[in-house]
A and B are shown apart, each in its own frame.
Chain A
Amino acid sequence: MKHKLKTKVLLILAAVLSLAAGMSAVKKSEIEAKVARFYRLNADSLNTAVLHMKQHLADGAMQESLQEDFIQARIYYKRIEAFVEYHLPESAIKINGANLVESEPSLPEEPILPTGFQVLEEVVYAEEPFDRQAAKMEIDGLAFACNRARVLGANIEFSEANILDALKLNLYRLITKGISGFDAPVALNSLPEAVVSLAATQQVLNYFPQSGNMQAATAAALDYVQMHQDDFDGFDRAKFIAGYINPLSVLVYDYQLEHKIPFIQAPNRAIPANIPHLFSPGAIDLSFYAPAGAELNNKELAALGKILFEDKRLSVANNRSCATCHIPSKAFTDGLALNESLVGGKKLMRNTPSLINAAYQPVQFSDSRITFLEDQIHDVIANPEEMGGRFEQIRASLAKDKVFMKAYKAAFAGKKPAADEVKKALAAYVRTLSGFNSAFDRYMQGEQTAMTAEQINGFNLFMGKAKCGTCHFMPTFTGAAPPYYEKMESEVLGVPQSNDTLNPKMDTDPGKFQVYGMPHHLYSFKTATVRNAAVTAPYMHNGALKTLRELIDFYNRGGGQGLGFELEHQTLPGDLLHLTEQEKKNIEAFIGALTDTVSYKKVQL
């Protein structure tokens, strides 16, 4: 009897508990239902807008009227961009992917043509006679993709955590790509689109209880863009990011902490969900770029790597170490256009890049041929032109060295250094070479005086009029594409053989083409970092450009096309940038604000 009573009590208790859980679930799912509805309504509008455009075209509408339709359709897309990109990445590419040819390694000869808004934009805004057939094809494709996002969207499983995560990633997308004109290079409607994007953010945040702070910060950012939305060139992007978006991002972070909304665990992401903002110290998770099992915090391993880095026994004739070409006092470059090859008195094929922040790249080498530092090191040591070393011989000579073996024993348990261990140690050392505390970084972290007025102006040019930021993405300033930073873009610039602009000749290095043999990769090179460029002259994969001014002039005249090269596949727009003398100076000054060649020294090895 007594037992039964207790059972009853327990059952009631369980029922009450589950009811309570159910109640909080109701409140939670209310937010999710609202966001799902928000998505549905806007996806419907997007579809309607695209169908309208299709109808208009069929009715014989003029280009100007289609341009209006285009802008309207994009606005609906911008309202749900955060969620399409987050949950339907493939659809996002089909709707608003970069206007670049891709192909799968398995079908190198079959180009995958880009589709979506960015391709349509070129057609609708073209100056030549308007190509109706092309427009029809692109609009049909767009309609198909938008419909797919609508249908698949019905199955998205929204949660508080993934909603906030998607919004935050979209803020990163906005500041790194959106406001640079990355995805609307011709219409230049980026700032009005930023307003739409922020309005949508505010509306979604409004579904969250006690979200007043976040909403107010969003509204302030929105007001700021709105005030300047007609002045693409003059927009103060530095202030917008540091003064509005970063603080908003921090508020979202704080809200999640306060309301105990978990941060999404995303091991496949370079920028984790649980950071305050994109420029927070340590925002980039280095382990994302390292192979499984790499030991990132192993000091002994990195210390051993440092010894090896300076050890000439790694080369065939014992006359070259890594540091011979990657000279620490020169930001790990050699200051030469091309270094000497070990074979036949030739020069090496490529310029020696800096190693500071090299570990923060999804691929290595200017043709992107390798993923991990460990493998890159194999390539260099075994390369007959660079070091020509043979691992068996290296192992033997290292094993005889008592001093070396002491450092080795601190890192490894083996008796003799193995090839694998040499690579691991060197890679571990290169991973300690980071420099993310430049004047620019400190400015973005809130230190308003860290950059001079000239540098701030240079940054705004870099991200706006001069279009640099559309390829050199913040915060690494490489081609690693935000907000996931997993894919490294390569571009065809048309780099000349030398800095001779009177008789320019095109460089013949095939670049990434050599790796997969895909035609559109011919002459394309990894978008190298701009960080530390002030101290790493000469520039480009062949070291052809001697000064930053020569480099800016190269871009200013439209790259290789501007030099008169016939380059069908040049991905750098061939237009003149019309930079003034002062503007060029400011960009140079800004590049100076990206110098940090000291932070790595603070790591005690």
Chain B
Amino acid sequence: MRLNIKMSAVIAFLLLKGYSAFTQEVKIDCKTHVFKTIPEALAYKDCAQKLSMRVAKIEKVSDKIGALTAITYLDLKSNSLRELPASIGALSKLEQVILSENHLKGLPESIEGWLALRFIQLDNNSLSDLPLGMFKLKNLNTLDLSWNNFSSLNPGVGKLKQLRILDLNHNGLLVLPKEIGKLRGLEEMDLSFNKLKAIPEEMVRMSKLKRLALANNEIEQLPANIGKLKSLKSIIVTNNRLKTLPESISILKELESLYLSYNQIEKLPGSIYKMSHLRNLVLVGNPISAAEISALKKALPNTNIVF
């Protein structure tokens, strides 16, 4: 009996397989062909890998997208989407997703199924929250959330251990969760244009961080142990409320550029005179005395000092 069911299943499978083979034109190479609509891709549903509906004026994504389980690349940039269907979570082979410039208010919890996801752009939407499922995407290395409505970030973000690039510029962030410090592999972090008053001390554990952008926030001081961010190449803190810098900044041997324009810095820490490896030091718009500037110029002859 059991055998029979298996047999009929095999027959049915072969029939279906034959059918789908029959409907396919041989010319299309699923690996490289970029499908432009869901119906078009559905004709190759077991092999279609790339789907781009960029600037296609769509306002809703069909439920049927869930059948395209071989898709690895999905581009829905610049449409008028307000939501995604839950079925989209079935695309478990997705590696790259571009959802920029839509009107997304939220994402379905089912995206926890995107286990192969490495890269996602969600910039220019109306997001203020992420589904918890997002934090299960252990392969994610690039997350672009810029130009959205986040005023806080779920602590779950700390679970995205593979993250290398995190872009949160132009949101309304008031605080960051301390869990963000768990992103030890992070290399680039853009937090410009938010409402941050401080960044968590825990962030100094991001020992691979190369670029930290904090421009246009309300930051009053940087973490005392900032010197631990030993890979840092550039720090951008333009337009904040800094009065001084932590002494430990001079330990940053890789640091090339320090942008400090438009803060309230009167005096720089003594240790900065030792940072001869610094290429750019931008101090425009701070109440620093002319005497200090000339002393700096003398101490750091190879640094381009802009004031």
The judgment on whether A and B are partners is yes
Residues of A in contact with B (beta carbons under 8 Å apart): 3, 6-7, 10-11, 14, 87-91, 104-106, 148, 152, 155, 157, 265, 267-268, 291-293, 369-372, 374-375, 378-379, 382, 420, 486, 515
Expressed in whole angstroms, the minimum distance between the Cβ of A576 and any Cβ of chain B is 37
A-B contact pairs, 29 of them (CB 8 A): A3-B4, A7-B8, A11-B8, A14-B8, A87-B59, A88-B59, A88-B60, A89-B80, A89-B82, A105-B170, A106-B124, A106-B147, A152-B59, A155-B62, A267-B109, A268-B105, A291-B152, A291-B154, A292-B132, A371-B128, A371-B149, A371-B151, A372-B129, A372-B151, A375-B174, A378-B174, A382-B197, A420-B177, A515-B172
A374: which B residues are within 8 A, CB to CB? 152
A378 touches B130 (CB 8 A): no
Q: Mark B52-86, 1 if CB is under 8 A from A, else 0.
A: 00000111101110000000000000001011001
B246: which A residues are within 8 A, CB to CB? none
A88: which B residues are within 8 A, CB to CB? 59-60
Q: Does B224 belong to the interface (CB within 8 Å)?
A: no
B154: which A residues are within 8 A, CB to CB? 291-293
Given A157-B63, A292-B131, A292-B154, is A3 in contact with B11 using a C-beta cutoff of 8 Å?
A: no
B86 touches A370 (CB 8 A): no
A486: which B residues are within 8 A, CB to CB? 105
Q: Does B181 belong to the interface (CB within 8 Å)?
A: no
Complex Cα spacing A88 to B103, Å: 13
Identify which of residues 35-54 in chain B touch chain A, using a CB-to-CB cut-off of 8 Å: none
Expressed in whole angstroms, the minimum distance between the Cβ of B298 and any Cβ of chain A is 40
Identify which of residues 110-158 in chain B touch chain A, using a CB-to-CB cut-off of 8 Å: 124, 128-132, 147, 149, 151-152, 154-156
Given A265-B86, A268-B106, A292-B154, is A6 in contact with B59 using a C-beta cutoff of 8 Å?
A: no
Complex Cα spacing A370 to B151, Å: 6
Expressed in whole angstroms, the minimum distance between the Cβ of B185 and any Cβ of chain A is 24
B3 touches A3 (CB 8 A): yes
Complex Cα spacing A392 to B151, Å: 21
Complex Cα spacing A382 to B3, Å: 69
A152: which B residues are within 8 A, CB to CB? 57-59
Complex Cα spacing A157 to B65, Å: 13
Expressed in whole angstroms, the minimum distance between the Cβ of A335 and any Cβ of chain B is 29
B147: which A residues are within 8 A, CB to CB? 105-106
Given A10-B4, A11-B8, A89-B80, is A378 in contact with B59 using a C-beta cutoff of 8 Å?
A: no
Complex Cα spacing A371 to B150, Å: 8
A293: which B residues are within 8 A, CB to CB? 132, 154, 156
Complex Cα spacing A3 to B7, Å: 10
Given A14-B8, A14-B12, A267-B106, is A369 in contact with B59 using a C-beta cutoff of 8 Å?
A: no
A292 touches B130 (CB 8 A): yes
Q: Does B265 belong to the interface (CB within 8 Å)?
A: no
B12: which A residues are within 8 A, CB to CB? 14
B5 touches A10 (CB 8 A): yes
Q: Does B175 belong to the interface (CB within 8 Å)?
A: yes
A291 touches B108 (CB 8 A): no
- The contact of A372 among B152, B175, B197, by CB within 8 Å, is B152
Complex Cα spacing A7 to B9, Å: 10
Residues of B in contact with A (beta carbons under 8 Å apart): 1, 3-5, 7-8, 11-12, 57-60, 62-64, 80, 82-83, 86, 103, 105-106, 108-109, 124, 128-132, 147, 149, 151-152, 154-156, 170, 172, 174-175, 177, 197
Given A371-B128, A420-B155, is A7 in contact with B4 using a C-beta cutoff of 8 Å?
A: yes
- The contact of A267 among B82, B108, B174, by CB within 8 Å, is B108
For A11, give the chain B residue with the smallest CB separation: B8
Complex Cα spacing A7 to B64, Å: 33
A90: which B residues are within 8 A, CB to CB? 59, 80, 103
Tell me what chain B mostly uses at the interface: helix, strand, loop, or mixed.
loop
A267: which B residues are within 8 A, CB to CB? 86, 106, 108-109
Expressed in whole angstroms, the minimum distance between the Cβ of B285 and any Cβ of chain A is 20
For B150, give the chain A residue with the smallest CB separation: A371
Expressed in whole angstroms, the minimum distance between the Cβ of B161 and any Cβ of chain A is 19
Choose among B63, B156, B174 the residue with the greatest number of A CB atoms under 10 Å from its CB: B174
Complex Cα spacing A89 to B152, Å: 28
New A-B contacts (4) at CB < 8 Å, excluding given A87-B60, A88-B59, A372-B129: A3-B3, A14-B8, A89-B80, A268-B83
Complex Cα spacing A14 to B16, Å: 14
- The contact of B151 among A105, A155, A375, by CB within 8 Å, is A375
Complex Cα spacing A375 to B4, Å: 60
The 6 A-B residue pairs whose C-beta atoms are closest, nearest first, are A90-B80, A371-B128, A375-B151, A90-B59, A375-B152, A268-B83
B4: which A residues are within 8 A, CB to CB? 3, 6-7, 10
For B81, give the chain A residue with the smallest CB separation: A90
A14: which B residues are within 8 A, CB to CB? 8, 12
Complex Cα spacing A375 to B174, Å: 8
Given A10-B8, A267-B108, A371-B149, is A104 in contact with B129 using a C-beta cutoff of 8 Å?
A: no
Complex Cα spacing A172 to B46, Å: 42
Choose among B108, B147, B149, B172 the residue with the greatest number of A CB atoms under 10 Å from its CB: B172
A382: which B residues are within 8 A, CB to CB? 197
B172: which A residues are within 8 A, CB to CB? 369-370, 515
A369: which B residues are within 8 A, CB to CB? 151, 172
Complex Cα spacing A6 to B1, Å: 8
A105: which B residues are within 8 A, CB to CB? 147, 149, 170
Given A7-B8, A371-B149, is A148 in contact with B57 using a C-beta cutoff of 8 Å?
A: yes
A292: which B residues are within 8 A, CB to CB? 129-132, 154, 156
Complex Cα spacing A105 to B150, Å: 12
Expressed in whole angstroms, the minimum distance between the Cβ of B176 and any Cβ of chain A is 11
A91: which B residues are within 8 A, CB to CB? 59
B7: which A residues are within 8 A, CB to CB? 7
Expressed in whole angstroms, the minimum distance between the Cβ of B49 and any Cβ of chain A is 23
B83: which A residues are within 8 A, CB to CB? 268
For A379, give the chain B residue with the smallest CB separation: B174
Expressed in whole angstroms, the minimum distance between the Cβ of A368 and any Cβ of chain B is 10
For A6, give the chain B residue with the smallest CB separation: B4
B177: which A residues are within 8 A, CB to CB? 420
For B132, give the chain A residue with the smallest CB separation: A292
Complex Cα spacing A110 to B298, Å: 47
Complex Cα spacing A155 to B64, Å: 12
Complex Cα spacing A548 to B83, Å: 40
Complex Cα spacing A90 to B103, Å: 10
B130: which A residues are within 8 A, CB to CB? 292
A370: which B residues are within 8 A, CB to CB? 151, 172, 174
For B60, give the chain A residue with the smallest CB separation: A87
A378 touches B128 (CB 8 A): no
A7: which B residues are within 8 A, CB to CB? 4, 7-8
Complex Cα spacing A88 to B197, Å: 41
Expressed in whole angstroms, the minimum distance between the Cβ of A583 and any Cβ of chain B is 39
Complex Cα spacing A209 to B75, Å: 41
B60: which A residues are within 8 A, CB to CB? 87-89
Expressed in whole angstroms, the minimum distance between the Cβ of A254 and any Cβ of chain B is 26
Given A14-B8, A105-B147, A486-B105, is A157 in contact with B62 using a C-beta cutoff of 8 Å?
A: yes
Expressed in whole angstroms, the minimum distance between the Cβ of B13 and any Cβ of chain A is 13
Given A157-B63, A265-B86, is A378 in contact with B3 using a C-beta cutoff of 8 Å?
A: no
Complex Cα spacing A133 to B135, Å: 54
Complex Cα spacing A104 to B78, Å: 13
Given A89-B80, A152-B59, is A291 in contact with B129 using a C-beta cutoff of 8 Å?
A: yes
Expressed in whole angstroms, the minimum distance between the Cβ of A286 and any Cβ of chain B is 14
Expressed in whole angstroms, the minimum distance between the Cβ of B4 and any Cβ of chain A is 5
Expressed in whole angstroms, the minimum distance between the Cβ of B64 and any Cβ of chain A is 8
Complex Cα spacing A555 to B5, Å: 74
Complex Cα spacing A90 to B62, Å: 16
B156: which A residues are within 8 A, CB to CB? 292-293
For A86, give the chain B residue with the smallest CB separation: B60
- The contact of B170 among A11, A106, A268, A378, by CB within 8 Å, is A106
Choose among B124, B130, B175 the residue with the greatest number of A CB atoms under 10 Å from its CB: B175
B175: which A residues are within 8 A, CB to CB? 375, 378
Complex Cα spacing A104 to B170, Å: 12
